[in-house]
Amino acid sequence: SGDFYFRDTCRLCESGGLERVIKLTPTPPGNYVLRADEIEEPRPSYPLEVYFCNNCAHVQLGHVVDPKILFQRRYTYVSSTSPVFVAHLQKYATVMIERFSLGKGGLIVDIGSNDGTCLRFFQEKGFEVLGIDPATDIARKASDGGIETIPEFFGFQKAQDLRSHRGPAALITSHNVLAHIDDLSDIIRGVEYWLDDDGLFVMEVGYLVDVYQKVWFDTIYHEHLDYHTLAPLLGFLGRHGLEVIEVERIAPQGGSIRVISQKKEGPYPVSASVNSLLELERSLKMDKPETFHDYNRQVNDVRDHLGKLLNDLKQGGHSIAGYGAPTKATTMLMHFGLSQEMIDFTVEDNPLKHGCFLPGAMIPILPADELYVRKPDYVVILAWNFANSIMEKHKRYHEEGGRFILPMPEPKIVDHL
């Protein structure tokens, strides 16, 4: 269909040496929760298959769904609804300003700036800020709230235009967005063009090592085109005139890396962190396709264990609900074959999703206080990257006899909070 196409070359090195290593159940777009009046409409599912590049070891999705379907219709993710993520962004702004002695008044740009949460922290410290985000509603809200946001996709041409009007950027930052873009080269060319000679580019993206070590396979979904490791990124950024000076593993959103680059010939030395991460990746054999073939088998083991656990509980007459309605829940529920027959409903803190249904599995999404009204015996934490804060917040559910279930990496019932 015209909704998606198959990409047969590597997004980073453009070679054609791709090998399919992971095959999951096809799913509909995961972040497009359905309103009650839409559940009868046919919702196409798209293939979900992961390919390994035998040339540079980059890992990417094979089928690319039209971004208009994924991002511009009704995109419900808003940074500021997650307190964990807001705190992360605030700390990030402080650290960057101090570590690199960024001069006040400099231009800070955020690609995929969402509701402007990150830029607000820089603005409060006296910087000029500019956001770019194609989700038009969210961009407009951010601008109305004082964080000027351009409601478009970023690329090389846009960068030429913006640099001529706004001058060079002291810092270009991007959080969890650069794994979503098919033409990554166009973005990075734009970044390199817009950066000041001593400017910095920071990309935070999900880290494939975490997805691998913790069996977080449900972060594989259509919005996530790329599963990044450092080794292929170094070559890719290098080919676009950028040098990685530092890299750090960070926790929010479930396992990410922060990659800090400068222009080639830039003022900063390369820190030891770069080599130590490369060593780790080599030791884990992230550069071998077999690693990911094995991984697919491991995912299917988790599916079988969780399926058996939930089935036994259900046979025993217990009721089961979910917590969270993140995009990744769709991958997990579809691949594990879990629907409303198994999970009665899920609860969610984001009010934009209340009264809607998870795509594919068609599970209704309710406010969190329904846990205390309906009192399900068990709650599977679908938003597992926030499991600790969810269990902390709902101690009362546990005290009243309910039990949480963690689906990954080994499905388990949490008996003691």
pLDDT tens readout for residues 211-248: 999 888 888 989 889 999 999 999 999 999 999 999 99
The span from the CA of 331 to the CA of 405, in Å, is 18
The CA distance from 80 to 103, in Å, is 27
Q: Which residues of the chain have pLDDT under 70?
A: 1, 31, 71-81, 252-254
Tell me what pLDDT residue 226 has: 95
What global pTM score does this model have? 0.87
**Beta-strand (E) ranges in 356-399?**
365-367, 378-381
Largest CA distance in the chain: 67
- Report whether 22 contacts 296 (CB < 8 A): yes
Residue 156, both tokens: 């090389």
Q: Which residue has the tokens 């509909």?
A: 28
Per-residue model confidence (pLDDT) at position 84:
82
Whole-number pLDDT of residue 252:
65
Three-class DSSP category at 178: coil
Instruction: State residue 34's pLDDT score.
Output: 85
Please enumerate in sequence order all residues whose Cβ is within 8 A of that of 97, keeping only pairs 6 or more positions apart, or say none. 122, 125
What is the side-by-side order of every strand in the sheet holding 403-406? 365-367, 346-348, 320-323, 378-381, 403-406, 412-414
- Using left for φ > 0, alpha for ψ between -120 and 50, and beta otherwise, residue 285 falls in left
- Considering the chain, what is the average pLDDT of its residues? 92
* pLDDT for the residue numbered 182: 86
Residue 151: the pLDDT is: 93
pLDDT at 359: 87
For 131-143, write each residue's pLDDT tens digit. Answer: 999 888 889 999 9
Query: Is residue 67 within 8 Å of residue 374, measured between CB atoms?
Result: no
Q: What pLDDT score does 254 carry?
A: 64
Please, are residues 212 and 57 in contact by the beta-carbon 8 Å criterion? Answer: no
